[in-house]
Structure formats: C-alpha cells, structure tokens
Amino acid sequence: MKSRREFLSLKALQDKIINEGKVLSGDVLKVDSFLNHQIDPQLMQAIGQEFAELYKDAGLTKILTIESSGIAPAVMAGLILGIPVVFARKSKSVTLTDNFYTTEVYSFTKKITSTLTVSKDYVKEDDVILIIDDFLANGEAAKGLLDIVKQAGATTSGIGIVIEKGFQPGGKLLREQGYRVDSLAIVSSLESGKVQFA
Amino acid sequence: MKSRREFLSLKALQDKIINEGKVLSGDVLKVDSFLNHQIDPQLMQAIGQEFAELYKDAGLTKILTIESSGIAPAVMAGLILGIPVVFARKSKSVTLTDNFYTTEVYSFTKKITSTLTVSKDYVKEDDVILIIDDFLANGEAAKGLLDIVKQAGATTSGIGIVIEKGFQPGGKLLREQGYRVDSLAIVSSLESGKVQFA
C-alpha cells in the first residue's frame, strides 16, 4: 500500500511538472500554477501524505519550513502527522520581539541574501524536526534551516523536498553530510527547455 | 449540524486566542503560536471547514489570499471546496514574468507600503473568488485583494477572515461597501492587554 501511494503521488507530481512547469533561462523551473503562486490543495495533500508516510515512525515533534511556498506542503504533512509547523520568516516582522534564531541565506534564483528568523519559543532542544521545502537546488535554504535547528540544539530527522534539481549540488552535498533527504520529484535535466526526471 | 460545527471551531479559535495570544503595544495582537509563525494544522483545518461550509453554495472557482499567513487557512478551505488557491506576493520574484496585476497596500502594523502582485494567468474574468486572510484591521490588505479581483474583471463572493479586530475600521468599511465579510473571531477590545470578543 505504501509503494502504491508513493507511486500515485509521485506520478501526479511529475505529470504536473511536465504539463505545467515552465523552464526559464537555463536552470529555473517555474511551477507557479500549482506550488509557487497558485496552489493545488489536492496535490499538496498527496505530498503531505507522502512525507507523513515516510516519517511516520521518526518520532517527529515539529515541521520546519520557510515562507511562502513551503507552507502548503508542510501544513498538509503536519495535519496528518498531528504536529505543528513552524515557518521561518525571511525578514523580521515588527510583531516579533528579540527572541530569535537567525541565519543568512543566499538565493541563487533571486540573487539576494536574506535573513531567516525563527522564534526561540517554537524550536526547542527536545524537538525532532522534519525540514520541508518546495525546492532543493544549491541547498542554501536547507542549510539555513539546518543551522537554525543546530542553534536550538534540536534534532533534524530529515529533509523533505517537493522538487529537487538533481543537476545542482544541494542534494548531493546534504546526503554526503549524512542527512536523510527525501525528494518527491528529482529533475535530472532542464536542457533545451525540457524537464527530465532522474 | 452547521451551527454545531461553527460553534466548535469558533470556540477552539477563541480559546487559542485567549490562551496563547499576546497583546503588544496598544492594538497589536500577536498569535505567533498557531497562525503567524507556528501553525496549528488541526485548527487550520477547522477554520478551512468553516469557510467551506459558509461558501459551499457560492459557486466559487478560486480562493485568493496573501503570503504568508493567509496560505494555511486558504489551502485548507481550498482542499475541502476542491478549488485552487492563489496567494498574492508582496514583492516581485525574479521567476515571475511581466504579466501581473499589482496594487499598493499599506501595513499599519509594519508601517510599510508593499506591492501585491498576482499573475494574470491565475485570476480571470469568469472567476468567482473568496478572499481569505488571517487578520482584518484597517482593511488595507483586503482592499488590495479586492482591487486585484476588480482589475481582473472577476467576481468577489466574499471575504473570509480568521481574526477581525472589530475596534478598527476595516470590517465596518467593507460591509458598508456591500461586501460579505465572514470573520471567525471578532475581537472587540484589547484594552489593558485583555482580549475581549464581540
């Protein structure tokens, strides 16, 4: 049953990427129709079920993601696992007080460095954390979240990714460092504007 | 059954606000433990069910919200209603091309003006839209989203709000303009740091 469900959700995700994804300028894959601007809630539920199934025995206490595109898949996984989701903010909000973990993250897509902030109230030493994000490319965002978990003295159980760009170094790097990385779709190439999977 | 479910989710939301909400400097209500930083997926599901029940006969085709805190309740409502969610971005992303509706929104809490952008691909003339947002205070964000729907020539069916600050003018203003506004919790006062409901 597990393999059947995995197959179904991975297939639906791959179909969406092929049918609706747009390849821009070299290595940018735009999936604004179901993940990064418009959101397909049914697909997010299937993705959440997948992560929940993969980590059901991991003793997770919390999911950590980044605003904005990580929120939908993370909340669906959190709903099924029955645990809270924390999203790192990309810049300080005036309604947050000075009680944060912060870390710098460089976005190769946007060519900007931003500061991730997570309140010390919501990631604690005894937390067992699943990191969820929409994309894994160079691994900058994941490294930022890992750094926050480390600052808190908490445990990272794994990293759940919706779409990994397998031709960029992030996934390899994180796996070599010993992290469990589960990517639901791994794109092996965007050459000639065509999406190919690993 | 409808009134029973409404009662249950409103009660859970009010309890959360009373038990976990923090009143800051006059009129800021911080609900970072379940909505604006950490997210309670079960509560988001109850909120989504509430919006879905209220708008089940409205012929909705799409939900429109704003990143980041509107996403979780909007996606839960979209899941139950079986319709997509679009979140307005607060600043342009390099992966979006020049095909937007834009509008300026002033945040009294953050004291900044930001530009909301929504792709013309995802809000169309024949769309019937439910706007969902986390807070309604002065109504700036809602007015921005209404403006985008108007630019698209689409129809706004209503505005679903998780927490309305009834002592600020947004709700009254929108209702006077003839909009249907459904707020799941209406805070009537934050005086002396104490949350009171309407």
Q: Work out the minimum CA distance from B106 to partner chain A, whole angstroms.
A: 14
Percentage of chain A surpassing pLDDT 70?
92
Sheet holding B38-39, edge to edge: A196-197, A181-189, A155-165, A128-136, A62-66, A85-88, B38-39
Q: How far apart are CA A21 and CA A30, in angstroms?
A: 6
The confidence score (pLDDT) of residue A2 equals 45
The pLDDT score that the predictor gives to residue B93 is: 47
Smallest CA-to-CA distance from B62 within B77, B82, B84 is with B84
Predicted pLDDT of residue B94: 43
Q: Encode pLDDT of A60-77 as tens digits.
A: 999 999 999 999 999 999
**Mutation site, B20, B38, B102, B124, interface A, largest A CB count within 10 A:** B38
Check B37 against A119: CB less than 8 A apart: yes
Tokens of B43: 């509560």
Low pLDDT (below 50) residues in chain B: 1-4, 92-95
DSSP, collapsed to helix, strand or coil, labels residue A104 as strand
Residues A155 and A136 sit within 8 Å (Cβ to Cβ): no
Mutation for A interface: B30, B63, B95, most A CBs within 10 A: B95
CA A127 to chain centre: 18
Which residues on B lie below 8 Å from A35 (Cβ)? none
Query: What integer best gives the mean pLDDT of chain A?
Result: 92
pTM: 0.94
Residues of chain B in contact with residue A87, where contact means CB-CB under 8 angstroms, are: 37, 39, 68
Cα pseudo-dihedral A82, A87, A93, A98, rounded to 10? 80
**What span, in angstroms and rounded, lies between the C-alpha atoms of A49 and A143?**
24
Reduced DSSP (H G I as helix, E B as strand, rest coil) percent helix, strand, coil of chain A, to 5: 35, 35, 35
- Contacts within 8 Å (CB) and 24+ apart, B185-193: B185/B10, B185/B13, B185/B14, B185/B17, B187/B17, B187/B29, B187/B163, B190/B23, B190/B26, B190/B27, B190/B29, B190/B165, B193/B23
Q: For position B150, what pLDDT does the model report?
A: 98
Contact A24 B75 (CB under 8 A): no
The end-to-end CA distance of chain B, in Å, is 23
Helix (H) or strand (E) holding B10: helix B2-20
What is the model's pLDDT at position A50?
Answer: 96
Mean local confidence (pLDDT), A137-162: 98
- How is residue B106 written in tokens? 């002033």
The per-residue pLDDT for A142 is 98
